[in-house]
Amino acid sequence: MFEYLLVFLGAAIPALEIALVIPLGIIRGLSPVLVMLLAFLGNMLTVLILIFAFQKVKDWMASRKRKKGKEKSKRTERGKRIWNKYGMPGLALLGPILIGTHIAAFLGLLLGASKVNTMIWMMISIGLWTLVFGIVTATGFDFFTRNVEF
Cα distances (Å, whole numbers) of residue 144 to 19, 45, 49, 139: 19, 33, 38, 8
Give the per-residue pLDDT at 30: 95
On whether the CB atoms of residues 14 and 102 are closer than 8 A, the answer is: yes
CB atoms within 10 A of CB 20: 15
pLDDT score recorded for residue 29: 92
Judged against a pLDDT cut of 80, whether residue 147 lies above it is answered with no
Count of all residues that appear for the chain in the document? 150
* pLDDT tens per residue across span 84-140: 888 899 989 998 888 899 999 988 998 889 999 999 999 999 999 999 999 999 988
Torsion angle of alpha carbons 141, 145, 148, 150, nearest 10°?
A: 120
Q: What is the per-residue pLDDT across 65-98, written as a single tens digit (0 to 9) for each?
A: 766 655 667 877 877 788 888 889 998 999 888 8
Of 22, 26, 46, 6, the C-alpha closest to 130 is 22
pLDDT in tens, 42-53: 999 999 999 999
